[in-house]
Structure 1
Amino acid sequence: MKRLLSIEFQKLWSNRSSRILILSYFILLSFIALLASVNFKIIGIDFRLADQGIFNFPYIWHFNTFIAAWLKIFLALVIVSMMSNEYTYGTLKQNLIDGLSKEEFIISKLLTVILFTVASTLFIFIMSLILGYNFSSYTEASIVFSEMEYLGGYFLKLLAFFSFCLFAGILVKRSAFAIGFIILWQIVELIAWWALRWFIIKDGPTTDSVINFFPLMSMFQLVKEPFSKFETYRAVETMNSGVVTEKFYGIHWYEAAIVIFWTFAFIYLSYRILKKRDL
């Protein structure tokens, strides 16, 4: 395992574009912390985002994981280019000639995907703790470490999406076309939602239930939008009982199960394609 990771790390770090994308990803994640200390001036009024309560425990776990998930495209580009470079520079064939089996090759890529996911989740965990303890109104341990399921959802979301990117990179070979394939898949799912919502099922909640079985949609819905939840929190803090919400913001077990299914499906399909392909 250590040998396989070492091989992949050498490939990634020797590639200038990959280095820039990886560093850019973690730098942009750090901008979440930077926003906390910036004073914004709108219509002559100064305010800081941190003072609005967005970094209060336990809400910070939901907010940070949702925002950070949008930046996963940087590591997605690294994973796609990681695969395309194997074909472009012939390193895949050379690795196989040198004695690396196709199973070990897939495992090495999967280990890289897991490493990216763990590193990103750990980074968000540490950053959220620092921001929370600096700006949260509530620092009791029972509050701080509640609603931690959002970190688990974030981990699953990234692992599934990166597995999908690995599948796209192996299937299409060229990074530009693989990225185009990912974008096209997203468009197809959006068109499917539109067709189901307005022409086939014609019911919003039922359509949402059906579309959540689609791979990218299931990943997106794993960590739901936190903004309307924030309005509820603020209403509770100000004792405003006029705001009521019935929306569930947590993670259902079956939502996690769907994402796990797609993760294994993409990894298996990646292996099958590589196994059957004449290199």
Structure 2
Amino acid sequence: MLKLFKIEWLKINTYRTFWVLFGTFVVFFPLTVFFSASKYMEQTSGARGSGPNPEDLAKALIGAPFVFPKIWQTSAWFGGHFFVIIGMLFVMLITNEVQYRTHRQNIIDGWSRLDFLRAKASVMFFFVIAATLLVFITGIITGLAFSAPGADLFEDVHYVAYFALMAFHYLLIGFFIAILVKRTGLAVIIYFISVYVIDGLLWLLLTIRGNQMGYFLPFETVDALIPSPFTPEMMKLRTVADYSLLISTAVYVSLFTYLIVNRFKNADLKT
């Protein structure tokens, strides 16, 4: 797979859109976390007056999201929101090849259809690993900057693993949409709407009156593993255990992997 990734890298490292979107994630995600941490800690630290104020109320409700151990959840949560940029980039990389039929040339040159899928999977793993490392580095630097000495650095670090799973899952669904739709603009729009509109609306419909079925939607099953660190404990709705969401995610991963392979193996590459 490393050899396939080297070939893919030759394709994408001269693609300006790749550097713009990937650079946006790499730069703005950690800056947003650190800037938010700076402002929050500035507002909630120091001496206060005798009466109640909004800053003290916020601190009482949501605690300390930018210090250890909660910073891991916060970094992963912010990372998840910014990672949609990488998801759209990945969709574009696949659909550009399908739309302009350059994937046919790979197969003419000796690749099998599975080789093409493996090559794209190598790019997917690159994005997941790079993004997960950035989430970890952002969490550790922000936590060290704002936590008190002696804090337990690695308590709740499992949220970084949850982020890696979420990133992989998001890209896998994007992979399926790209293979199915083939047209770059339409595929990106469908991906974006699926993440931000359809998933949210279905979640609302399926969680009315305490119903938990909404947490088993394709995107929500991984999103729910990293809840917002800014939601007060009393307002949290999920009662589904993490292991149930992990099992659900494994089922979706198996399903989408099968659909991707089956679709591309049987697709007419002339269309």
TM-score (norm 2): 0.83
Q: 1:127 offset after TM fit, Å?
A: 1.9
Find out whether 1:213 has 2:222 as its counterpart. no
Q: Name the count of aligned residue pairs.
A: 252
Partner of 2:263: 273
Counterparts in 2 of 1:250-269, with a 5 A limit? 252-269=242-259
Partner of 1:5: 5
Contact 1:57 1:138 in 2 (8 A): no
Structure 1 segments of 4 or more deviating over 6 A? 49-52, 244-251
Counterparts in 2 of 1:71-220, with a 5 A limit? 71-140=82-151, 143-186=152-195, 187-196=197-206, 203-206=208-211, 209-220=212-223
TM-score (norm 1): 0.81
Aligned partners of 1:249, 1:121: CA distance in 2, in Å? 27
Identity among equivalent positions (%) equals 23
Aligned partners of 2:5, 2:37: CA distance in 1, in Å? 37
Contact 2:2 2:122 in 1 (8 A): no
- Structure 1 vs Structure 2 CA RMSD: 2.7
In the alignment, residue 218 of structure 2 is paired with which amino acid? Answer: P
Aligned partners of 2:116, 2:180: CA distance in 1, in Å? 15
Q: 1:255 offset after TM fit, Å?
A: 0.7
Q: 1:184 offset after TM fit, Å?
A: 4.3
Find out whether 1:70 has 2:75 as its counterpart. no
What SS does the aligned partner of 1:122 have?
helix
Aligned partners of 2:122, 2:131: CA distance in 1, in Å? 14
In the alignment, residue 187 of structure 2 is paired with which amino acid? Answer: A
Extract unaligned runs of 5+ from structure 2.
47-58
Aligned partners of 2:124, 2:202: CA distance in 1, in Å? 29
What SS does the aligned partner of 1:14 have?
coil
Contact 1:84 1:173 in 2 (8 A): yes
Find out whether 1:16 has 2:16 as its counterpart. yes
What SS does the aligned partner of 1:212 have?
helix
- Aligned in 2, Cα 1:58/1:113: closer, same or farther, shift over 3 Å? same
Q: 1:195 offset after TM fit, Å?
A: 4.3
1:160-195: CA deviations, max 9, x gaps?
001101111111011211122224435444444444
- Aligned in 2, Cα 1:190/1:59: closer, same or farther, shift over 3 Å? closer
In the alignment, residue 42 of structure 2 is paired with which amino acid? Answer: F
